[in-house]
Amino acid sequence: MSDIATNVIVDGTLNTLIAASVVTWGLILIKGVQHIRISYHNRRYNKEFWSAPNIQAAAHLENQDGPAARVAGIGFSTLIETDGGASTHDLEHTWDRQELLDRRLRQQMQKERGSLESGLAVLATIGSISPFVGLFGTVWGIMGALTNISKTGSASLEVVAGPIGEALIATAVGIAVAVPAVVGYNFFIRRNKVVWAFLDDFAIDFVHLALKSSFIIERAGSKPASAAASARLTDVSGGKKSNIKDTHEELIAKEAHA
Q: What is the pLDDT of residue 257?
A: 56
Query: Confidence band (pLDDT; 50, 70, 90) for 238?
Result: very low
Q: What is the rounded distance in angstroms from the CA atom of residue 149 to the CA atom of residue 167? A: 15
Provide φ and ψ at 130, rounded to 5°.
-60, -45
The answer to whether residue 39 scores a pLDDT higher than 90 is yes
Q: Is pLDDT at 92 greater than 70 in this prediction?
A: no
**Which of 180, 135, 184 shows the shortest CA–CA distance to 21?**
180
Contacts of residue 13, defined as CB under 8 A and 6 or more positions apart, other chains included, come to: 133, 134, 136, 137, 140, 170
Compute CA distances 219 → 14, 77, 78, 104, 162, whole Å: 60, 9, 12, 19, 76
Give the separation between CA 250 and CA 236, rounded to whole angstroms: 11
Is the dihedral angle over the CA atoms 82, 86, 88, 93 positive or is it negative? positive
Lowest mean pLDDT among 53-57, 125-129, 185-189: 53-57
Q: Quick one: average pLDDT of 237-241? A: 43
Q: How high does pLDDT run on average in the chain? A: 80
Residue 191's pLDDT is: 95
Neighbouring CB atoms inside 10 A of 128's CB total 13
Rounded Cα distance between 96 and 82, Å, is: 9
Residue 105 has pLDDT above 50, yes or no: yes
Q: Is residue 33 exposed (0-12), middle (13-18) or buried (19+ Cβ within 10 Å)?
A: exposed
**What is the pLDDT at residue 46?**
92
Kindly state the greatest CA–CA separation across the chain: 101
Q: Who's near 18: CB < 8 A, 6+ residues apart?
A: 173
Is a pLDDT exceeding 70 seen at residue 158? no
Task: Place 54 in a pLDDT band, splitting at 50, 70 and 90.
Answer: confident
Q: Which has more pLDDT, 104 or 81?
A: 104
Mean pLDDT across 15-37: 95
pLDDT at 237: 43
Cα distance between residue 171 and residue 196, in whole Å: 37
